[in-house]
Amino acid sequence: MKPLLTICCTTFNQEKYIEQTLEGFYLQKTNFPIEIQIHDDASTDGTPAILKKHAEKDPRIKLILQTENKYSQHIMPWWHYSFPQAEGKYIALCEGDDYWTDPLKLQKQVDFLEANTDYVISWTNYQIFNGSSLSSNAWNHQTENTTIDYDNIFSPYCTLTLTAVFKKEALNLELLKSFKYSKDNSLYLVLLQKGKGVFMDFESAVYRVHEGGVYSLQSEFFKNYSSYLNVKEVTDAIPESKTANLKKVVKSLGNATAFEVLKLKNAGQDLSEVQLNFMKSYFQEADFKTKFKYYKRLLKYLFSK
């Protein structure tokens, strides 16, 4: 029987966590068939062996095992491998170091999308695990289900990959493949061209922050700069996404990046040409308010020495 939903899981060197991720998949109770597709990006630890062991026991598991790491070649596994091979009408995302906790997660999200055909993607709330304790988010949403569109996405940033479920037919893979600075945000903004999103305020998953995390423990400069380039690129490609909200998001990320470089420079850190050029060009082109903040901060640093 063809699956209604495909779980797309990407993993790399996550032998410590992948078993718990898989348990979250097995936990799911649905009235529809699912497939579990796992893309391993040429792990060098025991992850592939664990995946093969589970695939032998569960026919729902389909493995994509790379022999060369694609992410390091700036090839997004989702766009090029996972999504094209997904058989389901819906796709659910979860990386191999996160995990699901609500057995009805998929059922609740699919039920909503089936009943509300003008929506193309759903997210839920989640908890954060820092290695020793769990913490919850307080988004202060006014309703149980909050509509997400270009007017409010990323404000606040409650749309994490590990909770996303979306309609495959809403994908524009050619557009996604064309982006130079692809991230999960690219996917969300492209999907919203085809319909609305919904944030469902129940905790369904756990986002893990750990030393092996590809993104979570990157520097503040990297996080802000990569997000700035990403969101700016996608909004430039989708004119209807250039709402007041997303213009504000892009400006906020640009400001955070430039002021982070200024702080690092003041602290005497060696800066790359990319960092220095970005700070210089960004403040040259900034509006009056941002330039005023820049010179005020610069004077503060100068007089504090």
Predicted local distance difference test score (pLDDT) of residue 216? 46
Q: Are 188 and 110 in contact (CB under 8 A)?
A: no
Residue 259 lies in a domain: yes
Whether 203 and 226 map to the same domain: the answer is: no
Whether 237 and 181 map to the same domain: the answer is: no
SS3 content of the chain, % helix, strand, coil (to 5): 45, 20, 35
Write out 125-148 in H/E/C secondary structure. EEEEECCCCEEECCCCCCCCEEEE
Residue 298 lies in a domain: yes
In the block, residue with structure tokens 């005497």: 268
Whether 108 and 253 map to the same domain: the answer is: no
Query: Containing domain of residue 228, as a range?
Result: 220-304
Could you say which of 170, 188, 208 is where a domain stops? 208
Q: Give the Cα separation of 197 and 172 in Å (integer).
A: 16
The greatest distance separating any two alpha carbons of the chain, rounded to the nearest whole angstrom, comes to: 71
Q: Give the Cα separation of 118 and 12 in Å (integer).
A: 35
Whether 179 and 56 map to the same domain: the answer is: yes
CATH number at residue 160: 3.90.550.10
Whether 35 and 98 map to the same domain: the answer is: yes
b/e burial code for range 212-238 (CB count within 10 A of at least 16 → b): eeeeeeeeebebbbbbbbbbbbbbeeb
Angle, helices 244-266 vs 273-285, to 10°: value is 130
Residue 187 lies in a domain: yes
Whether 122 and 238 map to the same domain: the answer is: no
Residue 168 lies in a domain: yes
- As for how many domains the chain has, the answer is 2
Predicted local distance difference test score (pLDDT) of residue 2? 94
Whether 199 and 259 map to the same domain: the answer is: no
Whether 88 and 233 map to the same domain: the answer is: no
Whether 198 and 49 map to the same domain: the answer is: yes
Each of the 305 residues of the chain gets a pLDDT tens digit; together they read 899 999 999 999 999 999 999 999 999 999 999 999 999 999 999 999 999 999 999 999 999 999 999 988 888 999 999 999 999 999 999 999 999 999 999 999 999 999 999 999 999 999 999 888 999 998 877 789 999 999 999 999 999 999 999 999 999 999 999 999 999 999 999 999 999 999 999 999 999 987 655 544 458 898 899 999 999 999 999 999 999 999 999 999 999 999 999 999 888 889 999 999 999 999 999 999 999 998 898 888 877 76
Residue 142 lies in a domain: yes
- The two tokens of residue 57 are 């026991």
Residue 213 lies in a domain: no
Predicted local distance difference test score (pLDDT) of residue 215? 47
Whether 97 and 142 map to the same domain: the answer is: yes
Whether 101 and 249 map to the same domain: the answer is: no
In the block, residue with structure tokens 């979570």: 216
Cα distances (angstroms) measured from residue 174 to each of 80, 144, 241, 245: 10, 34, 18, 26
Residue 214 lies in a domain: no
Cα distances (angstroms) measured from residue 114 to each of 36, 111, 117: 20, 5, 6
Could you say which of 152, 173, 208 is where a domain stops? 208
Could you say which of 183, 208, 233 is where a domain stops? 208
Whether 241 and 115 map to the same domain: the answer is: no
